[in-house]
Amino acid sequence: STDLTSTVGYDSIIQHLNDGRKNCKEFEDFLKERAIIEEKYGKELINLSKKKPCGQTELNTLKRSLDVFKQQIDNVGQGHIQLAQTLREEAKKMEDFREKQKLHRKKIELIMEAIHKNRNLQYKKTMEVKQTCCCFLPCGGAAVPLVMHHLHFPCLSCFWQLFLKLAQTKSALEDTDRSYQQSVTTMEKIREEWQNEHIKACEFFETQECERINYFRNALWLHVNQLSLGCVQNDEKYEEIRKSLEMCSIEKDIDFFVNLRKTGSLAPAPVVYENYYNAQRNVTPARSPAPVPISR
């Protein structure tokens, strides 16, 4: 497992997770757009097979092949419409997964924001107390005897006033120092709590990112499989057309047409010349030759 807690900052992790969620949304939109295309293509194929004439006057075996052809094209169109519905379902699954991760992340982020804010406030407070402490004499109460030893006082009241002031300063310094120590102790506790929560958050985010990558990869794999399956199913439909064409017989279709349209087995008799100008020459008209049977 990658140790994100020591190698990547919290802000960088959040930005990376936001980018990952954006990538999932882009793939989700891609599936939706592909579904629109597949549905439109499927409907166009169905309309084409039903409304566009395609060899409608053909006869016998070729007509049956054309009927199979148009039916299978209709089936291909239905298959694309079904694929469109499947893609929409996959897009919805991706959306649900993305929203579920977002909700889980939000809980951790709220905890981290609260403890981070508390840490910053305590740090600011500690620095203010430290700054106040630094304003006092560096030696604290130890400076009082030294100052008293080197000063000469014109009167006793002046001595006691200065002594009281130094005592108050020493007491204030001790109070400030205790406050500073307490603030540092509190700061350390908050820092330890923040660090522990930070590690937990990073471990959670790492697990969530692994799940996202795995889900995204599997979703993409499934999408490609669905497209391949659609091609296989379409080829099976086209194979039915090929099988029907193999059953198409040129001889049978020709015989079928002849039997359907035939008017007889003999050719029409030839037209005989008759002389209407010279009646003597037209006494014995030439005999018409016998009809010749028609052979194909």
Provide mean pLDDT across the span 245-256: 90
Per-residue pLDDT tens over the stretch 46-104: 999 998 888 888 889 899 999 999 999 999 999 999 999 999 999 999 999 999 999 99
Long-range contacts of 211-216 (CB under 8 A, 24+ apart): 211/101, 212/20, 212/21, 212/24, 212/97, 212/101, 213/20, 215/94, 215/97, 216/23, 216/24, 216/27
The H-assigned helical ranges of 135-155 are 143-150
Tell me: domain 7-260, CATH 3.10.580.10, correct? no
Average pLDDT over all residues of the chain? 82
Query: Is a pLDDT exceeding 60 seen at residue 36?
Result: yes
Look-up of token digits 């930070």: 198
Tell me, what's the pLDDT at 279? 63
Provide mean pLDDT across the span 275-282: 67
Tell me, what's the pLDDT at 168? 76
Structural domain boundaries in the chain: 7-260
Q: Is 293 helix (H, G, I), strand (E, B) or coil?
A: strand
Tell me, what's the pLDDT at 5? 42
Q: Which residue has the higher pLDDT, 3 or 178?
A: 178
Instruction: Name the pTM for this structure.
Output: 0.69
